[in-house]
């Protein structure tokens, strides 16, 4: 995918919003995640220098929390529900269809950095199974045929 060039200029304002203290590490990492959709290696290294703790400690935290990602994520994150109801209604087929339609693997992002896929457990809309969520918008009873249309709409910013 088109690798976003990380300018350190963008990281510095995120860092300087917080005091140089270990307890702010997680909050800063969340901000970095929000800005880039993942935590670039350069950012993690800069953060380690800024707070003055080993890079390994931050790496441990970043790999522990699911909300933080060390791999690039797409602009739009597709969350496919794999709770019991969705699983029975074929969520794994849905995952395969999404991967095929977008040409990605389960933890990858599309070439253009638009989409990435995540498997989640129950989004609380079992009646609509199988469900996927893109940018907070719920799509129920998704079929392979309906996917290209949905993705096109999201790409154009026309999603509900």
Partner 1 sequence: MTVTIDGIPCACEAGEYLLDIAARNGVTIPSLCHHGGLPGQGCCRVCIVEVEQGGWKNIVAACIYPVERECAVFTKSERVIRQRGMVLSLLRAAAPESAEVARLCEVYDAPEYERFVKKPKERCILCGLCAKACQSLGTGAIVTVNRGVEKAVSTPYDEPSAVCAGCKSCAEVCPTGAVEVIEDGINRTIWGKSFPLKKCGGCGALTGTLAELERAADKAGAEIPALCNRCKQKSMSDVLASTYGW
Q: Which residues bind partner 1 (CB under 8 A)?
A: 41, 44, 53-60, 63-64
Q: Which CB sits closer to partner 1, 17 or 55?
A: 55
CA dist., res. 110 & res. 93, Å (int): 19
Q: How far is the CB of 55 from partner 1 (least distance, A)?
A: 5
Q: Which CB sits closer to partner 1, 49 or 111?
A: 49
Structure tokens at 11: 């990281």
Helix, strand, or coil here: 142? coil
CB 144 within 8 A of CB 136: no
Q: How far is the CB of 21 from partner 1 (least distance, A)?
A: 16
Q: Which CB sits closer to partner 1, 22 or 100?
A: 22
**C-alpha dihedral (54, 59, 64, 70), degrees to nearest 10:** 160
Which residue stretches of 52-139 are H helix? 55-64, 84-88, 91-102
Q: Which CB sits closer to partner 1, 64 or 149?
A: 64
CA dist., res. 102 & res. 47, Å (int): 34
Q: How far is the CB of 10 from partner 1 (least distance, A)?
A: 22
Q: How far is the CB of 76 from partner 1 (least distance, A)?
A: 26
């Amino acid at each position: 995918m088109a690798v976003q060039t990380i300018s350190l200029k963008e990281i510095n304002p995120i860092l300087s919003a917080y005091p140089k203290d270990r307890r702010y590490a997680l909050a800063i990492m969340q901000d970095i995640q929000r800005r880039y959709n993942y935590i670039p290696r350069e950012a993690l290294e800069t953060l380690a220098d800024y707070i003055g703790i080993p890079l390994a400690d931050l790496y441990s935290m970043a790999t522990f929390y699911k909300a933080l990602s060390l791999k690039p994520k797409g602009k739009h994150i597709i969350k496919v529900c794999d709770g019991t109801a969705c699983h029975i209604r074929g969520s794994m087929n849905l995952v395969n269809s999404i991967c095929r339609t977008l040409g990605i693997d389960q933890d990858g992002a599309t070439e253009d950095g638009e989409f990435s896929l995540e498997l989640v457990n129950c989004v609380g809309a079992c009646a609509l199974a199988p469900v996927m969520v893109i940018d907070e918008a719920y799509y129920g009873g998704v079929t392979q045929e309906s996917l290209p249309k949905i993705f096109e709409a999201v790409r154009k910013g026309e999603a509900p």
